[in-house]
Structure 1
């Protein structure tokens, strides 16, 4: 059985992000503060994102002022890159009472690899997953893309 960690585990770092709109639309995004930019990979990288207990894939976006953002959570890395299919992050946000401007916690479970989002006051449980060796990740990226 895989190890599990909770959001209050000392190995998990929590970043207080903000719900914001992006573009000229009403679409929400979860935006990390500028001083936490180093806790997220470069724009365009696909990471694991746990939303409401389910693990999805998300492409890291960047705001116009350089802050890291998540704009969606999708079933596969390919869907995350193309932003096609069901956006589970958007579904989760619609099911909560969180509005634009509110704080959302982003848990850094494994830097540059696995993150989780949760509403303030909630505790999340994550399956501990190690980041694959870069050579395996590069092969998978080449096959998927």
Structure 2
């Protein structure tokens, strides 16, 4: 059985981010502050735990300004790379929270560059401790996914 760690564990870093509107349809996105950008790899697909599910998300730089953004939560790495190919679960996760646009969302850094947790302020959650694969295995997995 995998180890579990809580969101208040000393090994985790929590980044206070903001839920913002994106585009003309007011889709949600999580805006990560510029001074925390080094914890979030630009253009990479990572694991994001939200609620009781583990998704894949692509970390992106905003079109204007600094920082990073998470614009969606998807079932597979391929869907995260090509958002039109899969369902975005960010809205459904938000529907189960009390977070509204303009308010804070907490992003727990479980393993920088690999796995993160998304939660609303004041909530304590537990994460499965998952180690990232070594670089050669990750490269093979990316090739197979494409």
Question: Is TM more than 0.5 here?
Answer: yes
Where does residue 11 of structure 2 map in the other structure?
Answer: 11
CA contact (8 A) 2:33 2:66 kept: no
Where does residue 119 of structure 1 map in the other structure?
Answer: 120
Aligned pairs for 1:40-55 within 5 A: 40-42=40-42, 44-55=43-54
| 1:61 has 2:60 as partner | yes
Where does residue 28 of structure 1 map in the other structure?
Answer: 28
SS at match of 1:123: coil
Larger mean CA deviation between 85-94 and 102-111 belongs to 85-94
Q: Distance in 2 between matches of 1:136 and 1:129?
A: 15
Deviations along 1:91-136, whole A, 9 cap, x unmatched? 1112322111000000000000000100010011100000110111
Q: Distance in 1 between matches of 2:144 and 2:86?
A: 20
| TM-score (ref. length: structure 2) | 0.94
Q: How many residues align?
A: 144
Which of structure 1's runs of 4+ aligned residues deviate more than 4 A?
none
Q: Distance in 2 between matches of 1:37 and 1:71?
A: 15
Gaps of 5+ in 2: none
Gaps of 5+ in 1: none
SS at match of 1:21: strand
Where does residue 133 of structure 1 map in the other structure?
Answer: 134
Where does residue 90 of structure 2 map in the other structure?
Answer: 89
| TM-score (ref. length: structure 1) | 0.95
